[in-house]
Chains A and B, each alone.
Chain A
Amino acid sequence: LVADKEPSPETTLGSAYSPVDYMSITSFPKLPEDDVLPGENAMKSRKEDDNVLSEQDTDPDLFLKSARLQRLPSSASDLATHEDGTFRETTTDPFTQECACQRDGLTVIITACLTFATGVTIALIVQIYCGDPQVFNQGAVVTDVAQCTSLGFGVLEKQGSSVDAAIAAALCLGIVHPHTSGIGGGGVMLVHEIRKNDTRVIDFRETAPSVITEDMLQTTLDAKPGLLVGVPGMLSGLNQAHQLYGRLPWKDVITMVADVARNGFNVTHELAQALADAKNQNMSKAFEDLFLPNGQAPLSGVFSRRMDLAIILDAVAVKGISEFYSGNLTQEIVAAVQEKGGVLTEEDLNKYSTVLRKPAEINYQGHHVMAPPAPHAGIALLTALNILEGYNITNQLSRQSTFHWIAESVKIALAMASEIGDPMFDTSVSEIVAKMLSKPHASQFRQMIDDSQTFSADHYTQTFTLEKGAG
């Protein structure tokens, strides 16, 4: 321990015996005998352990000579020239720093190894963070239609982003499942970036036309279906999503979708059923010509193509969404709507814009749940979870025991949802939303739930009519 703190000549000599460091010993100044005395005991011990150093090595001069001879066994021919008289006491290091590398090959090797290892490590780190992935990580795509799932999957395999895949799959659904969605409709997209912990809601729902009034709707709407048409937001929203998160070119993504319409698909069970239902309704001749050839609904599995949509999508791929919102398609849409009693104008389409929102969010049992804010009913989902959180539902509880709580909680959430609307047009909606997201308020609702009996929704809160088939 003493030697560690205050290196004595002896300890220095001991460590100098290391083959790596012996060079420094060759220039060691002559040590006075007196300096050896304080470490005499340690010296003795050292001598006993050391089979190499002899008695005479305690003299630094002799040690220097013997050390040099021991370290140069392969230079026997040179030894002859190294007589005792050639060793002189020096006050400076005779071996200059410049030529150190020539003298000690091991140092060079170690330095080279360390440099190489450092370089490789840095290169690996740079590759991990900046390079192309060497292993294709996991991913998953789920949609309502197998072919659209495959399309989304294909986009991922072509190194498209998750949003690229979602855009392609969503547009594909508009082709294969025209009863559920399409470019004449709208929707909502929620995107969460894990690494940035950032979430956006892209709201591309349809908006009401600029000249529509409630009075216009006090009529038989079956006779004027054009009045039901809102300004479509689908292409605008997906294009916005692509601008924010897209990796593949817009043209490539849309062309892949156009290929589905062009190359064809099999009619699904769901579409066959929807068309069978539509057959019994009073649909337009154009609709019947396209979807009900010969007055018959196609059976599931029948091969079908949509060359008309392929042409539209090809145009949108090349010219962008302006083709839809301020091009020939705009005039055509407006004309079709007005012909059916609607009031949609070209200006409505020109002025349509997607809304970017932050999600509504709560913490639920150690998880962060995010859903679209008003005017979407995502906040009702959060209300239901807030109420249910207080029951501390775990896997120790039987599922049956939770059903009554779920039924009552969702009932309250639905009743609350029946109050909300677009906050951009009605500021009081924000107060309702704040109430729906409040944990204390959820606790009050929970106390109103009776474990032994059910109540109607108006026992808990006021309710309004929920429009049938909303969304």
Chain B
Amino acid sequence: AAQVVVMGPDDVIVSVMSSLNKPFGSGILTPSGILLNSQILDFSWPNKTEGTTPNPHNRLQPGKRPLSFLMPTVVRPAVGLCGTYVATGSSNGEKALSGITQVLLNVLSSRKNMSDSLAYGRLHPQLEPNTLLVDSEFLDEDIKFLQSKGHKVERKELLSLVESTRRNNDVIIGVKDPRSADALALNI
């Protein structure tokens, strides 16, 4: 998925996630150059994959939108206008859920700055098979701690890319995920 996060001088916060589903979508290219999506793959249907249980609420129907893990997220103070605002988004399907959760915990609960919050190693609990994935930034001692709780830990190079902006009163900062070589955050 592609991510855009903007906090502008007009006091409006925007987070956009867009997608073609698979890389290059369906691979179908129209004569004028439009690549078409493969979003039907996000629906569930019987016999789609062997040994799976399709989600009955996500069955294919004309005009219907499928379940998606596009999760542009905005945080504002619960009371009043003063305090911390966060806008964030993440790529890579269901791994966006664990990515955003951990970044928000780092910022809102652990009171870490945004750069550190994005840089820390991340984990992702995979349902099938029941494995705990961790990324390359995750510390070995933390893996041992998790293994002591019975987690089957598997290390992956990259789990998700999270881009974020944060506003504290009148100070706004945008931060890109340090795992991305191409992303850029620009601040006024």
Contact = CB atoms under 8 A, between A and B. Distances in A.
Interface residues of A, number: 161
A428 B141 CA distance: 44
A100 to B, nearest CB: 49
B35 A182 contact: yes
Contact of A369 (B27, B32, B53, B75): B75
A192 interface: yes
A432 B56 CA distance: 13
A186 interface: yes
Interface in B63-96: 63-79, 81, 83-85, 87, 91, 93-94, 96
A214 B7 CA distance: 42
A208 B61 contact: yes
A369 B104 CA distance: 10
A152 interface: yes
Contacts of A139: 6-9, 172, 187-188
Contacts of A189: 14-16, 72
Contacts of A180: 1-2, 18-20, 23, 91
Interface string A179-213: 11111111111111111010100010111111111
Nearest to B52: A465
A464 B54 CA distance: 6
Nearest to A394: B109
Interface string A292-319: 0000000000000010110110000000
A132 to B, nearest CB: 11
B175 to A, nearest CB: 7
Contacts of A287: 24, 27, 29
Nearest to B80: A197
A284 interface: yes
B26 to A, nearest CB: 5
A229 interface: yes
A337 interface: yes
Interface in B154-188: 161, 163-165, 170-176, 180-188
Contacts of A140: 5-7, 165, 172-174, 185-188
A190 B74 contact: yes
Interface string B40-65: 11111111110011111111111111
Contact of A181 (B20, B54, B97): B20
A367 interface: yes
Contacts of A166: 4, 6, 14, 16
B65 A206 contact: yes
A102 B73 CA distance: 68
Contacts of B132: 407, 454
A365 to B, nearest CB: 6
A202 B145 CA distance: 42
Nearest to B147: A454
Interface string A368-404: 1111101111101100110010000111010110111
B102 interface: yes
Contacts of A454: 132, 149-151
Given A206-B37, A214-B45, A284 B182 contact: no
20 contacts: A133-B9, A138-B170, A142-B4, A143-B183, A145-B182, A162-B12, A162-B13, A163-B6, A184-B20, A184-B35, A190-B15, A190-B16, A199-B74, A209-B62, A337-B36, A363-B78, A377-B69, A406-B105, A420-B55, A470-B21
Interface of B: 1-49, 52-79, 81, 83-85, 87, 91, 93-94, 96-98, 100-102, 104-105, 108-112, 120, 123-125, 127-128, 130, 132, 141-142, 145-146, 149-151, 161, 163-165, 170-176, 180-188
The 9 closest A-B pairs by CB, nearest first: A140-B174, A187-B18, A308-B33, A162-B8, A421-B57, A146-B184, A137-B9, A465-B52, A181-B2
